[in-house]
């Protein structure tokens, strides 16, 4: 198939087949054409799309063989949901926030299977049981915001399989999930696929996920298929330099690279090899690191959330989000923070930033207990401790251009004598993070996800901080862009003398970035120590389970 919008060609001669009962994985960078291919199969392309006359999408249904590109709008609607189901990347935006979860699944069942409301509801409850949702009756009545990310994704899976389709398309269905939830979702998809002998098209930028789940792999680059074959052929003996680079981008658990390889490295030199830290080099670095005075010391920190008091009852603790956590961070160090969703990672970081007032404990920054500071003193402290947010799409105001986004915090903290000077600083920062000073007049929607995250990093650097919290700051990026951003963070740390707390659900990434590692579960501290040592010899079953859940190539 070939496809374009106006003069822009998006897909060029993309060809592959999905055998019955097999899972085909599609990998490639953002912009390679993975998602647009799935939308073409679903008949969800915009009216402005121009499809070449030679293009075909042949589908073998219970009613015969069809070219999906030649179906009318009514024909496409009859196929969607009934013959082809789709699990989208982000369940929070894919589910209607104003409808109960059960009603949304029920709607598709009643449309395609013509069941009564009573029988449709019964079918929804059965499906919720099938996808292992706890208390299906409660989930049926719940709104999407009342469920966890993993539960919302299970609702999406139930919706995708509710009419027993022949083909299931999964577009990055585990991207925003932590490793243990991701593992259960992948096992569930595999189980459902085998039980129903489904054909499946699985799109992901996580090569470990593709290696564990799929039978065959299609590698895409700039709208073209560059390589395809069995999982063994592609991952053990890749032929194209692009594929080699894509595989090498993912941080390895067995070695510690000085700098992550990128796709451009392999496109320039197919025999490229990254340098590796020796044990002696790492020990020498840590000896000097830990001889210093800590820049941050957290002592017995707790953050509780309370239920609303009633007339007859006092307020009671409903959630112990962070419970008695203690650690030290040294200048120039990266402390990795890991744990499942709900373990308290983000609440801990927000407490360190004083965006959440701790319920108990002390936070010493450069020897001063910042919990005792006045509001005015906290405002001044914000300049020193910055945060890079998880989502580069929602953390940048769409109404402001990049110059305004970068210069506004500087103006608040009186950096630069005037706006021209602040814009000059902003332009230099954009150059530092691999963008151009000419981008200052552009708006966020004109940039890719990786570029937006670089803008977020530039904004944090604008206040000349000493300490930065990276809260899932690379989780939304594909492996090649992720490698570039991780290398950038390490380069900036060295150049500006920064210290990081690095939070991620991707344990391979955390290991690559971290000196120390803090493992959390249910708000409690499970392990704290050298990152390499914890990965090699975890002392708790919880940490072992987290490491075991990492998808492996």
pLDDT digits (tens, 9 = 90+) for 510-551: 999 999 999 999 999 999 999 999 999 999 999 999 998 888
In DSSP terms, 446 is beta-bridged to: none
Question: Does some domain include residue 33?
Answer: yes
pLDDT at 30 over 90: no
Instruction: Tell me the pairing of strands 224-230 and 385-388.
Output: unpaired
pLDDT at 310 over 60: no
- The pLDDT score that the predictor gives to residue 411 is 93
> Among 552, 454, 451, 553, which residue's Cα sits nearest to residue 30?
451
Q: How far apart are CA 326 and CA 358, in angstroms?
A: 13
Answer yes or no: are the C-beta atoms of 467 and 385 closer than 8 Å: yes
pLDDT at 484 over 80: yes
Q: Would you call 60 helix, strand, or coil by DSSP?
A: strand
- The pLDDT score that the predictor gives to residue 178 is 78
Q: Would you call 236 helix, strand, or coil by DSSP?
A: helix
As a whole number, mean pLDDT of residues 409-428 equals 93
For residue 245, what are its two tokens? Answer: 């680079």
User: Residue 145: which CATH number?
Assistant: 3.40.50.300
Q: How far apart are CA 168 and CA 157, in angstroms?
A: 9
Question: Does some domain include residue 54?
Answer: yes
As a whole number, mean pLDDT of residues 16-25 equals 94
- The pLDDT score that the predictor gives to residue 392 is 74
pLDDT band per the 50, 70, 90 thresholds, residue 228: very high
pLDDT at 48 over 70: yes
Helices (DSSP H) in 5-94: which residue ranges?
34-42, 73-79, 91-94
* Average predicted confidence (pLDDT) for the chain: 89
Question: Does some domain include residue 439?
Answer: yes
Question: Does some domain include residue 535?
Answer: no
Cβ contacts of 390 within 8 Å, gap of 6 or more: 471, 472, 473, 475, 476
For residue 221, what are its two tokens? Answer: 């680059």
For residue 356, what are its two tokens? Answer: 């959440």
As a whole number, mean pLDDT of residues 321-347 equals 92
Please give the C-alpha separations between residue 102 and each of 114, 144, 189, 375, 540, in angstroms, as whole numbers: 16, 10, 20, 46, 38
pLDDT at 76 over 90: no
Write out pLDDT tens, residues 182-201: 888 888 889 989 988 899 99
The domain in which residue 426 lies consists of 396-464
User: How many DSSP H helices and E strands does the chain contain?
Assistant: 22, 21
* Distance in angstroms between the alpha carbons of the first and the last residue of the chain: 30
Quick one: three-class SS letters along 474-501? CCCCCHHHHHHHHHHHHHHHHHHCCEEE
pLDDT band per the 50, 70, 90 thresholds, residue 55: very high
Q: How far apart are CA 317 and CA 315, in angstroms?
A: 7
Which residue, 464, 483, 499, sits at the end of a domain? 464
- The pLDDT score that the predictor gives to residue 350 is 92
- The pLDDT score that the predictor gives to residue 40 is 92
Which residue, 213, 239, 265, sits at the end of a domain? 239
pLDDT band per the 50, 70, 90 thresholds, residue 489: very high
As a whole number, mean pLDDT of residues 42-69 equals 88
Q: How far apart are CA 228 and CA 312, in angstroms?
A: 67
Q: How far apart are CA 238 and CA 252, in angstroms?
A: 17
The answer to pTM > 0.95 is no
Write out pLDDT tens, residues 148-185: 778 888 899 999 999 889 999 998 888 767 788 888 88
- The pLDDT score that the predictor gives to residue 270 is 79
- The pLDDT score that the predictor gives to residue 323 is 94
Question: Does some domain include residue 480?
Answer: no
Which residue, 410, 433, 464, sits at the end of a domain? 464
What single string gives the DSSP state of each residue in 303-330? Answer: EEEEPPP-SSS---EEEEEEEEEEEEE-
pLDDT band per the 50, 70, 90 thresholds, residue 264: confident
Question: Does some domain include residue 59?
Answer: yes
Question: Does some domain include residue 176?
Answer: yes
Q: How far apart are CA 92 and CA 249, in angstroms?
A: 29
- The pLDDT score that the predictor gives to residue 395 is 84
Question: Does some domain include residue 363?
Answer: no
As a whole number, mean pLDDT of residues 252-281 equals 88
- The pLDDT score that the predictor gives to residue 315 is 62
pLDDT at 252 over 80: yes
Answer yes or no: are the C-beta atoms of 516 and 533 closer than 8 Å: no
Residue 536: count of CB within 10 angstroms of its CB: 11
pLDDT at 136 over 70: yes
pLDDT at 233 over 90: yes
Domain count, the chain: 2
């Amino acid at each position: 198939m070939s496809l374009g919008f106006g003069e822009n060609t998006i897909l060029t001669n993309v060809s592959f087949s999905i055998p019955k009962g097999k899972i085909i994985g599609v990998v490639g960078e953002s912009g390679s054409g993975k998602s647009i291919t799935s939308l073409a199969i679903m008949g969800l392309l915009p009216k402005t799309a121009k499809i070449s006359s030679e293009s075909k999408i042949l589908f073998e249904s219970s009613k015969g063989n069809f070219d999906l590109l030649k179906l009318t709008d009514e024909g496409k609607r009859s196929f969607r949901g009934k013959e082809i189901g789709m699990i989208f990347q982000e369940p929070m935006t894919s589910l209607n926030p104003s409808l109960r979860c059960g009603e949304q699944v029920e709607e598709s069942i009643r449309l395609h299977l013509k069941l009564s409301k009573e029988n449709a509801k019964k079918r929804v409850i059965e499906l919720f049981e099938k996808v292992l949702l706890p208390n299906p009756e409660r989930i049926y009545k719940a709104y999407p915001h009342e469920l966890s990310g993993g539960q919302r994704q299970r609702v999406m899976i139930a919706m995708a399989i509710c009419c027993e389709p022949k083909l299931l398309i999964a577009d990055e269905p585990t991207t925003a999930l932590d490793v243990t939830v991701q593992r259960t979702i992948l096992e569930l998809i595999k189980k459902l696929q085998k039980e129903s002998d489904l054909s499946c098209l699985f799109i992901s930028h996580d090569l470990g996920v593709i290696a564990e789940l799929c039978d065959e792999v299609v590698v895409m680059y700039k709208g073209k298929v560059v390589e395809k074959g069995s999982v063994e052929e592609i991952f053990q003996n890749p032929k194209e330099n692009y594929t080699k680079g894509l595989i090498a981008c993912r941080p390895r658990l067995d070695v510690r690279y000085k700098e992550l390889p990128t796709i451009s490295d392999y496109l320039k030199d197919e025999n490229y090899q990254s340098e590796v830290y020796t044990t002696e080099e790492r020990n020498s670095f840590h000896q000097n690191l830990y001889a210093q005075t800590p820049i941050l010391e957290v002592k017995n920190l707790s953050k509780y959330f309370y239920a609303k008091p009633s007339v007859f009852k006092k307020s009671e603790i409903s959630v112990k989000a962070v419970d008695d956590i203690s650690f030290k961070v040294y200048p120039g160090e990266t402390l990795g923070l890991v744990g499942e969703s709900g373990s308290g990672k983000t609440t801990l970081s927000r407490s360190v930033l004083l965006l959440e007032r701790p319920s108990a404990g002390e936070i010493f920054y450069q020897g001063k207990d910042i919990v005792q500071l006045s509001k005015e003193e906290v405002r001044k402290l914000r300049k020193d401790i910055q945060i890079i947010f998880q989502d580069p799409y929602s953390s940048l105001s769409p109404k402001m251009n990049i110059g305004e986004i970068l210069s506004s915090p500087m103006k608040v903290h009186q950096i630069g004598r005037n706006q021209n000077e602040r814009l000059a600083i902003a332009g230099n920062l954009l150059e530092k993070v691999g963008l151009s000073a000419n981008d200052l007049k552009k708006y966020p929607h004109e940039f890719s996800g990786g570029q937006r995250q670089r803008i977020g990093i530039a904004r944090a650097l604008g206040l000349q901080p000493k300490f930065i919290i990276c809260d899932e700051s690379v989780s939304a990026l594909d492996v090649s862009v992720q490698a570039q951003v991780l290398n950038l963070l390490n380069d900036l740390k060295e150049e500006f003398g920064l210290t990081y707390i690095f939070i991620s659900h991707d344990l391979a990434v955390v290991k690559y970035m971290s000196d120390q590692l803090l493992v959390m579960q249910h708000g409690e501290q499970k392990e704290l120590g050298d990152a390499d040592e914890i990965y090699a010899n975890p002392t708790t079953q919880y940490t072992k389970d987290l490491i075991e859940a990492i998808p492996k190539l």
